Amino acid sequence: MGTYRMCGCFTRKFKIIEAAPPPDVIAAFEKYAEGGPQMTAELLHRFLVDVQGQGGAKVSDAEEILLQVLQKRHHMAKFRKHALTLDDFHHYLFSSDLNPPIDNKVHHDMTAPLSHYFIYTGHNSYLTGNQLSSDCSDVPIIKALKRGVRVVELDLWPNSTKDDVDVLHGRTLTAPVELIKCLKSIKEHAFSASEYPVVITLEDHLTPKLQAKVAQMVTQTFGKMLFRPESECLKEFPAPEDLKYRILISTKPPKEYLEAQTKKDKEKEKDSDDDVWGKEPTELTAEQEDEKTDSDASDNNQDDEDSDAFEPEIDSSRAPGYKSLIAIPGGKITGRLKEALKVEPDKVRRISLSEQALEKATVSYGTDLVRFTQKNFLRIYPKGTRFNSSNYKPQIGWMHGAQMIAFNMQGYGRSLWLMQGMFRANGGCGYVKKPDFLMNVGANGERAKLPVKKRLRVKVYMGDGWHLDFKHTHFDTYSPPDFYTKVGIAGVPDDEIMKKTKIKEDNWTPVWDEEFTFPLTVPELALLRVEVHEYDMSEKDDFAGQTCLPVSELKQGIRAVPLFDRKGEKLNSTRLLMRFDFV
């Protein structure tokens, strides 16, 4: 008896049954095939318009779908009459290539100034792993560019013999990579995923002599690809459309490189007001305590972009070539933040804040931040104690108009999934137009509790493909997996929520058929979060795939939703069948 059970168990384990279409798919087929056994192109066209919300679809589009499905499923295109059976129709709906949840074309207005867009931004883009001891390399830069990242950060330091420039994370154990190698790789791969501009942010610790060398390297490497501003101060940034296939440099204008300072000087400077980003005097103690904690923990693991406010500016004539390359000048925060956030009529610039500094700034200066970002750039970077290349929640920056939310692309986790989700928008080109409400904040821009603008109804029908992407023993050794799906919203605090389906036991192709409704106050910044897990009674549940999708881009109707692994790589076959409607 025991042997029989064991055999039965193994048979059950490896037998993959193709799941039948869920009731909604059967009902849609019966309705639009008008009760017949097959659906013609004309009938499919009606389904596309009525259910899938594709008002612009033509009968020829439906005909094209028919041909692709019949070729793929039956390896035949020359049928006397092109028509789909119920199984063909189900196959079409469950194909993430033929029926994706969002479009893969650029469709936002790309003619507004660069500051009107959220931009896919990397932090310490040259690190292969953690922030303290990993190697520096051009490989992670290439990977990021291939994923559509548009802002690459390089930290520049003199090499050991002080006659050339290395890229490394300063005062850590990270092994350097030569700047020229990074520049050549950027040139080669900058536009492999997107034709829109790449910004290189330079964190510069160089002497004027080495700055001149950098100017020469950058000019020779990029040639005509390099965007040089016509005047020292741009009054407005150009548009992404006008900067296709161009490279932009962003850094602070040149200053003296101070090789050494006496301890006394350092102490004196710590007491000065210059490095305080803008809290009122009574609030400074906690802020300074934070800075101390970070610097003690990381020994200068914070970005030096805006923290080295003590180094005097040099006469620009000493590094004119370098200064003339800067398209997006980095500003310096000295004194109060409110002053730094003043919008100047004839000058655009960029300032940087750490994730904690941003959180504090939003309490007192929320409106100022939004107004500043309507014309200028705000860059947010991870706090220095994120040694393991983890990330923070990007929403707070997006809510206040920050264009460059700098992320450690070499780490992974839910925050990075959200970032990847946001930049699936607009065809994955790395530029997402900011919502109108961030461009129209008036004098009293603080937003009170907002009403619900729309409701997103999500139905999770079923999933498939795990048996192709995972070993049969990956989830459970002796039985098929027990999958459940978590669905929710990431966005402004009022909209954030997670819900989950029931667990479907012992099934490689689980059918849940469960519906959820999400009220949204700011749908423009909402991301639909989807995660599938395998329930494990005795241990932590196993991860089985995830995706994040911008709610503003979701196509209505029944859609195939591809899933990704922990690092954001697309799984070959694993996907969910879902339905999206706005009610």
Contacts for 528 with CB less than 8 Å, ≥ 6 apart: 421, 456, 458, 487, 488, 489, 548, 549, 550, 551, 554
Q: Which CATH number applies to 454-582?
A: 2.60.40.150
The domain over range 121-255+268-422 is classified in CATH as 3.20.20.190: yes
pLDDT score of 316: 41
Residue the block writes with tokens 């999934």: 417
**What stretches of 33-192 adopt beta strand conformation (E)?**
39-40, 83-84, 117-119, 151-158, 165-167, 177-178
Q: CATH 2.60.40.150 occupies which residues in the chain?
A: 454-582
Neighbouring C-beta atoms of residue 352, cutoff 10 Å: 27
Contacts for 292 with CB less than 8 Å, ≥ 6 apart: none
pLDDT in tens, 12-34: 445 666 778 999 999 999 999 99
Residues of the chain with pLDDT under 70: 1-17, 76-81, 255-318, 320, 441-448
Written as one letter, the residue type at 562 is: P
pLDDT in tens, 99-141: 999 999 999 999 999 999 999 999 999 999 989 988 999 999 9
Q: CA-to-CA distance for 39 and 32, rounded, in angstroms?
A: 7
User: Which tokens belong to 227?
Assistant: 């965007």
Stretch (H or E) spanning 248: strand 247-251
Q: CA-to-CA distance for 574 and 550, rounded, in angstroms?
A: 20
| 520 and 493 Cβ atoms separated by less than 8 Å | no
Q: CA-to-CA distance for 408 and 382, rounded, in angstroms?
A: 8
Quick one: 20 exposed, middle or buried, by C-beta within 10 A (0-12, 13-18, 19+)? middle
Q: CA-to-CA distance for 578 and 151, rounded, in angstroms?
A: 34
Neighbouring C-beta atoms of residue 200, cutoff 10 Å: 25
The domain over range 13-93 is classified in CATH as 1.10.238: yes
- Which residues are catalytically annotated? 123, 169
**What stretches of 395-435 adopt beta strand conformation (E)?**
404-405, 431-433
Torsion of CA 426, 237, 116, 414, to 10 degrees: 70
pTM of this structure: 0.86
pLDDT score of 234: 87
Contacts for 263 with CB less than 8 Å, ≥ 6 apart: none
pLDDT score of 494: 94
Q: CATH 3.20.20.190 occupies which residues in the chain?
A: 121-255+268-422
Contacts for 216 with CB less than 8 Å, ≥ 6 apart: 321
Q: CATH 1.10.238 occupies which residues in the chain?
A: 13-93
pLDDT score of 170: 85
